[in-house]
Chains A and B, each alone.
Chain A
Amino acid sequence: MINLIGNYSLIFALIISLGTMFFSFKNFKYNNILDFNLIVLVFLQFILIFCSFCTLLLAFINSDFSNLAVYNNSHTTKPLFYKISGSWGNHEGSLLLWLLVLSLFSLIFLIQSKKLSVSFRSLSIFFQQIIIVGFILFIFYTSNPFQLIIPTPNEGLGLNPILQDPALAIHPPILYLGYVGSSIIFSSSLAALVCKYTTNQWARDIKKWTLISWIFLTIGIMLGSIWAYYELGWGGFWFWDPVENVSLMPWFCLTALLHCSSVLEKRSSLQSWTIILALCTFMLSMSGTFLVRSGILNSIHTFANDPERGIFILIFLSCLILLSLIIYFKYNNFEKSNKSFFVSKETAIVINNWFMMYFLAVVLIGTIYPIFLEVITKEKISVGPPYFNQLIIPLLIPFLFIMSIGTKLDWIKNKEINVRYKKIVLLILSVLISYLIAKHLNTKILYSTVLISAALYLLFISILDLKNDKLKWSQKTSHLAFSILIISIILNSIFSEEQSVNLKAGEEKKLSKYTIRFEKISKSQIENYTSLKAEIWVSQNNNELIFYPELRLYKVPETITSEADIKTNLFNDNLVVVNYLKDTDYLNIRYQKKPFMLLIWISALMLAVGGILGLRKKY
């Protein structure tokens, strides 16, 4: 019964979509006042989709195994929290969530954009409805969350235990908010193109949405990597895994858009480029969905290998790309923008955009190159961190330097290029500190010195900028956060240490720096898994740390997960992960020292806070 309600709400939402498209197009053509029907219809659509999502949620909470999605992904012994998060932890449910957010954002956009012209608003809604129709059809044809199984099984198959983690429970919805926010940017820039509405007012409006999706995307990516760090126990937070890259690409695009839309807002130039970025952001989000959902990429996120789904998204994606290409090339005739002097804020922002595009290109190629190679030559490769590190890190150096200079330039033309002696002192100071740090490493002194000093210099300048009243707080916060983030990442990768030994309970091993002792192991039964807790002593220079890493044996589905025990303080993370060695009494024990992990999370959060500050009303 409840399944039917969900299913029919979706069908009605689809019908309403068609109605909305009709009304919005009529409104765009003939009316000067926004048709009230439009708001009512969009609202109704949201309510219907919300209803449908709620029924799925209820099915998961009640463990209604007559529903195929519930049966495949839930189990009666699962804690309530994960039953709820299970509803979007699977392919079908996550699409429904995407649709829900999509319709919510359309509604908010329609209500929020009162100041803008009516034809522009109705046309944006028109494009938005195209996306919504596409998603509803996708759900119906290939991934209906309300499929029934007869007879009703007594027990479900269970949610993959590595997905049972608080960070991961909220990671997909947050990331989706980011992705879906970019759909508004997409539709509204298409509408702006057609209506010739690429004005300052539009830029201000688009910037709000850019910020919103950027904030959610930032937090979403951060949560994903927190999950990778704490739950997967791989001892790292970023692996250049294709699925991680897929979420990073729209982020680069959005960051570029964020900066470039302020040029459009202040100086009415770079219209064409802003539009391209806006379109690309959503295209990248959609292609990301395609790559992840079609199972082309093999990764932990791959829900199922179903070519049918892939074909549908691909056709949908091609339609959207074609639509935006035609509209872009048809309506793209902007006046040549006013000249700007070489040393100016515009130039700095354009350079920022170049760098962003470069990083984007590196990640894009690294992600899709293996796919191309496989199709064309049948050779299977995977692109690993060395590729990304070698291509990105060297370019990071000029990027950081320009970022530290660029913020204080004036619009149009910088009057005086004043080199204060305070700044020179800071530069020398950062080079000196970096040299000392680099010397400690003994390898590649020059390279590390330059890299660290670029990051340090940016940090110093950002701190100094905090007192600068000309800059906005949002910018100051995010730039400072970014500099802390970069420097923590660099220092983290330089100073990480790792030791790995195989020990039996009661054994001890002396390593060059530490002594690792495997004291004992204890077994207990907790909710839906069996826990094996090891007690491990790590001592270094009379300093003893006791760790309790854990192995969790899940019954449904039969899986072992490894929980790291992490001791965190502001400057250092110490962690121990154990892994089960099959057919032996030995455990593989890995002890890792990861400096500045906490700072990485804090600064990523601060980056998002900077974005939130940018949302404050100042007009």
Chain B
Amino acid sequence: MKIRLSFLFVLTLIVFILCVFFLSLFEEKSYVPEKTNNKIENFSIKDFYTDKSLNLKILFEDEKYIIINIWSSWCIPCRQEHKHISNLSSFNSSKIIGLNYKDKKNNAIKFLNELGNPYDTILSDKDGTKAIFLGAYGVPETFVIDSDLNIIKKYIGPINSEIVNEIRNLLNDY
């Protein structure tokens, strides 16, 4: 009997721990972006189609926020997130800017013809130097930036439908 009791005790303890582990798998664990230096510099960049030089501030026109999405035709996750970007652009009033990263123009145009163009403006970053101003790690990444050039939100990796909702709520709140 004594052995039975200790067995039950150990079993319940372990089952409890495993349950907690199980629940914790579904906790939100994405990294909170670093809070320091959220402000970015105003930089000039070329338009993807016209090669005209623009600067970041002009892109805002009268909008308070813009969304910048870094993408590339060779980037597989970008293909996956494309439908979410389209989704975002159809719901949102804010401008969505695509930053074409280290890409060949022909390939990029092919990509857009194939999947559609969700962007209001596309910027070209052929050598990957402009993405540095945003503090980007790679492709794809998505930034929400306000007109004072503060990064409000930063998503590393492909976005999904949850993030789309999050961005929509975020922009509605402001």
**Chain B positions 48-88 with a Cβ under 8 Å from a chain A Cβ:** 74, 76
Question: In the complex the two chains form, is A558's CB within 8 Å of B138's CB?
Answer: yes
- Pick the contact of A305: B29, B76, B136, B137 (CB < 8 A): B29
Interface segment out of the listed A257-265, A307-315, A385-393, A406-414: A307-315
A371 at interface by CB-CB < 8 Å: yes
Q: A374 to B27: give the CA distance in the assembly, Å.
A: 8
B14 contacts A321, C-beta separation under 8 Å:
yes
Assess whether A317 is in contact with B18, with CB atoms less than 8 Å apart.
Answer: yes
- Please tell me if the beta carbons of B18 and A307 are within 8 angstroms of each other in the complex: no
Q: Given A329-B3, A582-B37, are A314 and B21 neighbors across the interface (CB < 8 Å)?
A: yes
Write out the residue numbers on chain B whose beta carbons fall within 8 Å of the beta carbon of A317: 18
Least Cβ–Cβ distance between A464 and chain B, in angstroms: 43
Which B residues are CB-close (under 8 A) to A153? 74, 76
Interfacial chain A residues near B20, Cβ < 8 Å: 371-372, 375-376
Q: Which residues of A contact B132 (CB under 8 A)?
A: 558
Contact assessment for B24 and A375 in the assembled complex, using a CB-CB cutoff below 8 Å: yes
Q: Which of A157, A290, A314, A318 has a CB less than 8 Å from the CB of B138?
A: A157
B10 in the interface (beta carbon within 8 A)? yes
Nearest B residue (CB) for A283: B14
User: Nearest CB to that of B136 among chain A residues?
Assistant: A558
A311 touches B25 (CB 8 A): yes
Annotate A139-153 by CB proximity to B: 1 below 8 A, 0 otherwise.
000000000010001
In this complex, how many residues of chain A approach chain B with their Cβ under 8 Å: the count is: 36
Q: A595-606 vs B: 1/0 string, CB under 8 Å? A: 000000000000
Closest chain A residue to B19, Cβ basis: A375
Task: Name the contact of A290 in the complex, choosing from B21, B27, B74, B137 (C-beta under 8 A).
Answer: B21
Residues of B contacting A290 with CB < 8 Å?
21
Instruction: Tell me the bound Cα distance from A157 to B26 in angstroms.
Output: 28
- A558 adjacent to B76 (CB under 8 Å): no
Question: Contact check: which of A321, A371, A558 meets B24 at CB < 8 Å?
Answer: A371
Check A294 against B25 for contact (C-beta < 8 Å): yes
For the complex formed, measure the closest distance between the CB of A278 and the CB atoms of chain B, giving whole angstroms. 16
- Looking at the complex, which one of B23, B31, B36, B128 makes contact with A375 (CB distance below 8 Å)? B23
Are the C-beta atoms of B27 and A295 separated by less than 8 Å?
Answer: no
B76: which A residues are within 8 A, CB to CB? 71, 149, 153
- Asked if A116 is at the interface (CB within 8 A of a chain B CB), the reply is no
In whole angstroms, what is the CA distance A311 to B20 when docked? 12
CA distance A154 to B20 in the complex (A): 43
Query: Nearest CB to that of A309 among chain B residues?
Result: B25
Say whether A398 faces chain B, with CB atoms less than 8 Å apart: no
Instruction: Please name all residues of chain B whose beta carbon is closer than 8 Å to the beta carbon of A582 when the two chains form the complex.
Output: 36-37
Residue interface bits B1-28, CB-to-A below 8 A is 1, else 0: 0010011001100100110111111110
Taking CB atoms, residues of chain B closer than 8 Å to A376 are 20
What 1/0 mask marks residues of chain B from 25 to 53 whose CB sits below 8 Å from any chain A CB?
A: 11101110000110101000000000000
Q: Jot down 24 A-B pairs with beta carbons below 8 A, ordered by A.
A: A71-B76, A153-B76, A155-B74, A290-B21, A295-B29, A296-B24, A296-B29, A305-B29, A310-B21, A314-B21, A314-B25, A317-B18, A318-B18, A332-B3, A368-B17, A372-B20, A374-B24, A375-B27, A376-B20, A558-B128, A558-B132, A558-B137, A582-B36, A583-B41
List the interface of chain B (C-beta within 8 A of A).
Answer: 3, 6-7, 10-11, 14, 17-18, 20-27, 29-31, 36-37, 39, 41, 74, 76, 128, 131-132, 136-138
